[in-house]
């Protein structure tokens, strides 16, 4: 009988332990903005759980000045930061992101729990700068501004690759060759894709450098303007257009052949 009672008490004790662990307040933040573009906004999303489990106002602190950034919906430096508060989510927007911001530690607090990390140590993805070719048969220049971002220079090797947009399982390495010309520059690394063809578009291009990734999409789309059909090349930069008819006008009203 005593053995049965002991087993029942042990089961009750274990059940309470499991429930306590299950409802423990746990905080974690991640980078919401991908890729990161220097000079634009960056969002960090803090997962704060249910308010019954993690009561009290969530808070952000840190940054280049190691200051209190926000408490609940109150933001102390509204020129630099903004807050969006959803159930279970506490999102901070950092305006005009710079190298100093990427090298700073940010801390999300809820109740007695907190999570802190430096953005550059969270395997961030930065944006590639992609120039505008004069035509589909022209050269496409892709540039990674290494100097603009903080990097943990633990590795000297880097790697260019590409894959179809939204299909990273078909990755293709891009070694330095007549087709893919790499150039080391003062503030970064460039890759020129020579004689651009349709096989080179609708692709995500990436540079893996140290602990960071640089990424950008080159997308060709067919669009219609009235009775005319165009192809436009979208590359996170100005659009070029290639006319699909013999003689028609472009979107600016000029005749194209």
154 lies in the same domain as 80: no
Look up the domain containing 62 and give its range.
Answer: 27-129
Cα–Cα distance for residue pair 30/28, rounded to 1 Å: 7
Residue 251, pLDDT score: 35
For the chain, the distance separating the N- and C-terminal CA atoms, rounded to the nearest angstrom, is: 96
Residue 183 has pLDDT above 90, yes or no: yes
> Number of structural domains, the chain?
2
pLDDT tens profile 81-113: 999 998 889 999 999 999 999 999 999 999 888
Q: Give the Å distances, CA to CA, from 167 to 35, 45, 157, 212, 222.
A: 17, 25, 25, 20, 20
Band (pLDDT 50/70/90 cuts) for residue 238 is very low
Share of the chain above pLDDT 70, in %: 74
Kindly state whether residues 141 and 90 are assigned to the same domain: no
Residues 155, 85 within the same domain: no
Q: Is residue 17 part of a domain?
A: no
Mean pLDDT, to the nearest integer, of 143-155? 82
**For residue range 45-63, what is the model confidence (pLDDT) as tens digits?**
999 877 777 788 899 999 9
**Same domain membership, residue 84 and residue 59:** yes
Verify that 153 and 80 share a domain, yes or no: no
- Across 154-161, average pLDDT: 78
H or E stretch at 183: strand 180-185
Please give the C-alpha separations between residue 240 and each of 114, 131, 173, 237, in angstroms, as whole numbers: 47, 11, 26, 9
Q: Are residues 143 and 123 in the same domain?
A: no
Q: Is residue 40 helix, strand or coil?
A: coil
DSSP state of 128: P
Q: Model's pTM, two decimal places?
A: 0.73
Q: How far, in Å, CA of 135 to CA of 137, rounded?
A: 5
Is the pLDDT score of 174 beyond 50? yes
- Is position 193 within any domain? yes
Domain match, 58 and 110 both: yes
């Amino acid at each position: 009988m005593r053995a049965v009672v002991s087993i029942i008490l042990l089961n009750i004790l274990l059940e309470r332990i499991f429930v306590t662990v299950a409802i423990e307040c746990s905080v974690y933040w991640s980078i919401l903005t991908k890729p990161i573009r220097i000079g634009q906004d960056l969002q960090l999303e803090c997962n704060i759980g249910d308010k019954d489990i993690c009561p009290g106002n969530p808070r952000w602190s840190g940054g280049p000045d190691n200051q209190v950034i926000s408490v609940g919906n109150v933001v102390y430096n509204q020129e630099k930061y903004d807050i969006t508060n959803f159930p279970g989510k506490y999102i901070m927007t950092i305006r005009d992101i710079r190298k100093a911001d990427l090298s700073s530690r940010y801390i999300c607090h809820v109740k007695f729990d907190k999570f802190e990390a430096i953005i550059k140590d969270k395997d961030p993805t930065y944006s590639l700068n992609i120039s505008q070719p004069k035509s589909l048969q022209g050269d496409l220049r892709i540039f990674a501004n290494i100097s603009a971002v903080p990097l943990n220079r633990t590795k000297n090797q880097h790697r260019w690759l590409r894959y179809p947009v939204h299909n990273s399982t078909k990755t293709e390495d891009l070694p330095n060759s007549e087709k893919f010309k790499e150039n080391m520059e003062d503030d970064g690394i460039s890759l020129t894709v020579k004689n651009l063809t349709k096989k080179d578009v609708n692709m995500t291009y990436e540079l893996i450098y140290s602990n960071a990734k640089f990424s950008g999409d080159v997308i060709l789309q067919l669009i219609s303007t009235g009775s005319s059909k165009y192809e436009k090349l979208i590359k996170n930069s100005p659009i070029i257009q290639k006319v699909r008819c013999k003689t028609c006008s472009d979107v600016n009203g000029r005749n194209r052949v």
